[in-house]
Structure 1
Amino acid sequence: MEAIIRQEAGWILTQQLASGVVVTAYPGQPKIVPYFAHLALYGLAAWGYSPERVRAYLDWYLAHLEKPDRYGVTGTVYDYHLDGEGVESPTFSYDSSDSYAATFLTLVRRYYETSGDGGWLEHHWPELDQVAGAMLATLQRDNLTLARPDWKVKYLMDNCEVYRGLKDYAWLLAQVKGAGEAERYEALAGKVREALEAKMRVNGGYCPAIYRAGLRRRPNWKKWYPDALAQLFPLITGVLSPEEETARRIYGNFLRNYPRWYEQTTPVNFLTTLVVYAATLMEDRWRVRQYVTGLRENIIARGHPWPYHAAEAGILLLALKAYLTGGSGEG
């Protein structure tokens, strides 16, 4: 596993451009998707690898904040296309305003925990506050966020990431600025968690989304994305602790529907490493080992064929940190 960690960390860095941005190598044309860049760098930051390269990406993101964007939100970042010469061109859109911002703040915490770079934080508080504002720009009266201003859906995955982003930003504020400024974000995180439990919990899991007029859709465990994968996000983001009965029930339901998930390590039938991270947190160590063996043989040894990309490698590093340290992979 240590050899895989070193190899994958190096491979992630090959996906980073001179500007600092991390690319998602979509077939046909690479694209800059900040959400995937954040996940890619989670692993590097958690291990403390190449902090200067992680910081280069943080600088790129803050330099590309929209003030405001096409939806009137300040503190967001668009996706970008890359042409054949590496020129970055904005798409003037993004998949979500809440998750992009939330996962960036989580990345900042991971960077600070292992680098101790308080100077970078002190220099960038104004921009970080704008990112936090973008995360909350679509917060509704029920304390759940819409994916973006023009997309009136409240996703389970997004709101779990918002909970984590609020907790991590509160932690950063407490570490550097003191408890006073952190209290607001800590309180908001608690309200988001309460809303997730009150509005999205259903028998045996969570509804993957709430649509207009409060329409809730029960999870279809046979539908991999978003339904089944979304069920693991409360575990991944700390909304649920692994010791809770609800966490054990959800992971049990996942295993009943995907008992041999650890065998899905071929390019045609690839299973996201987010499952590996959830399995590690749930102490499912045998399946994690089986998956990593298959991943080494079928993905890494074959040159990382699509759909494996930098974000998958970053979450793998996070999972292996948790596996080897017995924690969450943070710090």
Structure 2
Amino acid sequence: MKEALLALLLMIAALAHQPADAAELSLSGYQRADGAITTYFEGDSIDPYFAAKALLAAQDAGVKTGTAASRWIAWLLPRQHADGRFDRYCMKGQRFVSCQIADADDALMAAWMELLVRTAPPQGMPPAWQASFDKASQHLDTLRNPATGVYHISNTLPVALLMDNVEVSSAFKATSDYRRRLGDTAGAAAWGRKAEQLDKDILRVFWRAGSGYLVSTQPRETFEFYPDAVAQIFPILADIRPASRPHAAAYRIWMKENRMAWLQMSEVDFPWGLVALVADKMGDKDAIACWRMRSIQFRHGKHWNVLEEALYLAFEARLTPEQALAPPAAGLRCR
């Protein structure tokens, strides 16, 4: 009873921290009555990374996530290992049980830390959230390569990925903002310095002038849309860029080279809504409209997960019912 009351109070507090004029995210078919968020529509598996990333992306796209995030946090928090890690979960009987280790500890720790600080009520994280944040942060520290400054996938996979490190940077920046909201100037500055140093390390390790970003510290023999193409604009989401490469120029070049391939991804692979989130940050409404129009027929299918759903709902929430049903605007190039 106490746990249920605490979860309710936290949910109310989180809602009070959200913009009043934003829509509220409802992940129907993905978030269960107990707060768990499945990776696929009415699915039987849970990957905590995708749940956290979906909530963060939806918030970035302008919808309120207080209720959904607080319910998810209440479900996942007691499942955290003592060392800060989380597992992936599968349905067994009528309950979810641990069935796999996380795909990438660095990205998951970062997403969880960022979700906690961005969902926290105005007075700060409750003690249980803070303890969970601290454990995740401490585990993330064990993944940092002191020689390069970037973070490894896990303690058993000593490989650094560009996109994972961008997410770590994003978590540090969000934590700095959180400490600043609480009036902790020194704490905000400390987390800000961590983010600034990581951004420098990311550029030193992964950026190659003339050829773009390396995706991994491990050599790759083939080029694939994900991760190779997606990674080239992913740093925009955390405002990371080489001095010689303004975001607008990088985005324009990427869209010129990859727009058609991206919009056709939903037919053979995931639609990569994160690219639409980059488009949103760059103010490219046409790209978002095309993504939504091309992807809708594949919604809830095998190439559609909770991250795509959260972004789809966030973009849809901006439309009036008439706009949602209207045909594409004249001159909109989606093929």
Shorter-chain TM-score bucket reads 0.7 to 0.9
TM-fit CA distance, 1:135: 2.4
Note if contact 1:35-1:100 (Cα within 8 Å) is conserved in structure 2.
Answer: yes
Note if contact 1:155-1:210 (Cα within 8 Å) is conserved in structure 2.
Answer: yes
TM-fit CA distance, 1:177: 5.8
Output the CA distance in 1 between the equivalents of 2:39 and 2:207.
33
1:88 aligns with 2:96: yes
Question: 1:194 aligned to 194, 200, 210, which one?
Answer: 200
Question: 1:64 aligned to 72, 75, 79, which one?
Answer: 79
Matches within 5 A, 1:1-331: 9-10=25-26, 12-25=27-40, 30-43=44-57, 45=59, 47=62, 49=64, 51-67=66-82, 74-85=83-94, 87-112=95-120, 116-118=121-123, 120-141=125-146, 142-176=148-182, 178-202=184-208, 203-211=210-218, 222-240=223-241, 245-261=245-261, 263-264=263-264, 266-296=266-296, 298-300=297-299, 304-317=300-313
Task: State the one-letter code of the partner of 1:135.
Answer: L
Task: State the one-letter code of the partner of 1:163.
Answer: S
Partner of 1:71: none
What SS class does the counterpart of residue 289 from structure 1 fall into?
A: helix
Output the CA distance in 2 between the equivalents of 1:165 and 1:319.
23
1:196–1:320 distance in 2 versus 1, CA, 3 Å: farther
Note if contact 2:237-2:278 (Cα within 8 Å) is conserved in structure 1.
Answer: yes
| Gaps in structure 1 of 5+ consecutive residues | 68-73, 325-331
Task: State the one-letter code of the partner of 1:65.
Answer: Q
Note if contact 2:87-2:99 (Cα within 8 Å) is conserved in structure 1.
Answer: yes
Output the CA distance in 1 between the equivalents of 2:239 and 2:69.
23
| Gaps in structure 2 of 5+ consecutive residues | 1-21, 321-335
Query: How many residues are matched?
Result: 296
What SS class does the counterpart of residue 84 from structure 2 fall into?
A: coil
What SS class does the counterpart of residue 87 from structure 2 fall into?
A: coil
1:284–1:51 distance in 2 versus 1, CA, 3 Å: closer
Output the CA distance in 2 between the equivalents of 1:316 and 1:238.
23
TM-score normalized with structure 2 length: 0.77
Output the CA distance in 2 between the equivalents of 1:144 and 1:101.
14
Bigger CA drift: 75-84 or 247-256? Answer: 247-256
What is the root-mean-square deviation in Å for CA atoms of aligned residues? 3.1
TM-fit CA distance, 1:250: 3.2
Partner of 2:323: none
Output the CA distance in 1 between the equivalents of 2:319 and 2:233.
17
Task: State the one-letter code of the partner of 1:309.
Answer: N
TM-score normalized with structure 1 length: 0.78
Partner of 2:328: none
Note if contact 1:48-1:111 (Cα within 8 Å) is conserved in structure 2.
Answer: no
TM-fit CA distance, 1:61: 2.5
Partner of 2:327: none
What SS class does the counterpart of residue 81 from structure 1 fall into?
A: strand
1:92–1:286 distance in 2 versus 1, CA, 3 Å: closer
Output the CA distance in 2 between the equivalents of 1:139 and 1:154.
9
Bigger CA drift: 122-131 or 185-194? Answer: 122-131
TM-fit CA distance, 1:35: 0.6
1:279–1:152 distance in 2 versus 1, CA, 3 Å: same
What SS class does the counterpart of residue 185 from structure 1 fall into?
A: helix
TM-fit CA distance, 1:256: 3.8
Task: State the one-letter code of the partner of 1:247.
Answer: H
1:99–1:269 distance in 2 versus 1, CA, 3 Å: closer
TM-fit CA distance, 1:9: 3.8
After the TM superposition, list the runs of 4 or more consecutive aligned residues in structure 1 that deviate by more than 4 angstroms.
43-48, 317-324
TM-fit CA distance, 1:267: 4.5
TM-fit CA distance, 1:291: 2.0
